[in-house]
């Protein structure tokens, strides 16, 4: 399965997202969506699992704070992470010990961390307006049952 990981769109879908996510099977959005139209646009590319972030006041009735789904035999947790302050991979694993993959946002900093128990923790970075002198990015993850997930950060122009 090929997954598109995205976070912190803040109401904007950059044109590069369409190219990067052109052949994904599912999109996981880790919050700070900014506007429901973002989810509608992403749904044109693939089914979307999304959570709300700290700026998503209007989307809290539509989206959960945490989404737990199983894909290719892996237990995924998607969360914005703002409930943990400035989230770190190890702290997220402590909060969600049964997860095989944790996707989070909030910090706008892309992170891929492989933990000793083989859990993969990913922040795809911010795909929305440029902030904090960080380049916009998303991530692509590939999964196959019985093989550790492979993930890479993809910069957006």
Structure tokens at 152: 């890479």
CA-nearest of 100, 23, 20, 95 to 65 is: 95
**Which H or E run includes 94?**
helix 89-95
pLDDT computed for residue 81 by the predictor? 96
Concatenated DSSP letters of 14-77: -HHHHHHTTT-SEEEE-S---SHHHHHHHHTTS-EEE---TT-GGGTTTS-SEEEEEETTEEEE
SS3 of residue 117 by DSSP: coil
pLDDT computed for residue 143 by the predictor? 96
Domains and CATH numbers, the chain: 2-155 (3.60.21.10)
Q: How far apart are CA 97 and CA 93, in angstroms?
A: 5
Structure tokens at 101: 């993959």
Residue 6 · residue 42 · CB < 8 Å: yes
Structure tokens at 3: 């997954």
Q: Look at the pTM and tell me if it is higher than 0.75.
A: yes
Tens-level pLDDT at each residue, the chain (157 residues): 999 999 999 999 998 999 999 999 999 999 999 999 999 999 999 999 999 999 999 999 999 999 999 999 999 999 999 999 999 999 999 999 999 999 999 999 999 999 999 999 999 999 988 877 889 999 999 999 989 999 999 999 7
Q: Half-sphere exposure of residue 121, counting CA atoms within 13 Å on the CB side?
A: 25
Q: How far apart are CA 98 and CA 81, in angstroms?
A: 17
Q: How far apart are CA 147 and CA 90, in angstroms?
A: 22
pLDDT computed for residue 144 by the predictor? 94
pLDDT computed for residue 30 by the predictor? 98
pLDDT computed for residue 15 by the predictor? 87
pLDDT computed for residue 130 by the predictor? 81
């Amino acid at each position: 399965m090929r997954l598109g990981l995205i976070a912190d769109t803040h109401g904007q879908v950059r044109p590069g997202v369409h190219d990067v996510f052109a052949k994904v099977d599912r999109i996981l959005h880790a919050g700070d969506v900014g506007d429901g139209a973002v989810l509608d646009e992403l749904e044109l590319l693939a089914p979307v699992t999304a959570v709300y972030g700290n700026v998503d006041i209007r989307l809290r009735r539509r989206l959960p704070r945490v989404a737990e789904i199983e894909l290719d035999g892996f237990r995924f947790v998607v969360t914005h992470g703002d409930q943990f302050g400035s989230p770190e991979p190890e702290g997220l694993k402590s909060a969600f010990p049964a997860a095989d993959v944790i996707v989070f946002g909030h910090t706008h900093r892309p992170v891929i961390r492989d933990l000793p128990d083989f859990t993969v923790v990913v922040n795809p970075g911010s795909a929305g307006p440029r902030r904090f002198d960080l380049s916009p990015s998303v991530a692509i993850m590939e999964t196959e049952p019985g093989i550790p997930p492979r993930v890479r950060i993809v910069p957006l122009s």
